[in-house]
Amino acid sequence: EVQLQASGGGLVQPGGSLRLSCAASGFTISDYSIAWFRQAPGKEREGVGCISNSDRSTYYADSVKGRFTISSDNAKNTVYLQMINLKPEDTAVYYCAARRREVSNNSWYHKAFRPDWWNDWGQGTQVTVSS
């Protein structure tokens, strides 16, 4: 059974940093593409970025490019979302998702940025950016 466990959220001041973890069980992360999504109150869930199972290429939403970085540790079977220079508008519940399919630059921007493309989800972790 595919299971994902997101953690690492918390309260951080604007300009601060935070690292989220997505621990996987029941499958090997190198076989799956893993994505991060977020959902703010009253808003739709939006794609933040993903790491592809093919060559571990990463793709990001324009709103987080240059500030967020996705990486993976195969030994720990965990994917990370490093966030720097956080802004109040980054406040949301963050989720990780998985699908055993390659993501390319084209597919990220055309379909994989949407939540309905992904098969398996973890529970969310709250990130609050506030002074």
Residue 26: per-residue pLDDT: 95
Q: How many CA atoms lie within 13 A of 127 on its CB side?
A: 33
Residue 109: per-residue pLDDT: 85
Compute φ and ψ for 105, nearest 5 degrees.
-60, -40
Series of mean pLDDT values for 10-residue runs along the chain (131 residues): 96 98 96 97 96 93 97 96 98 97 89 94 97 95
CA distance 35 to 19: 15
Residue 84: per-residue pLDDT: 98
Cβ distance 78 to 29 under 8 Å? Answer: yes
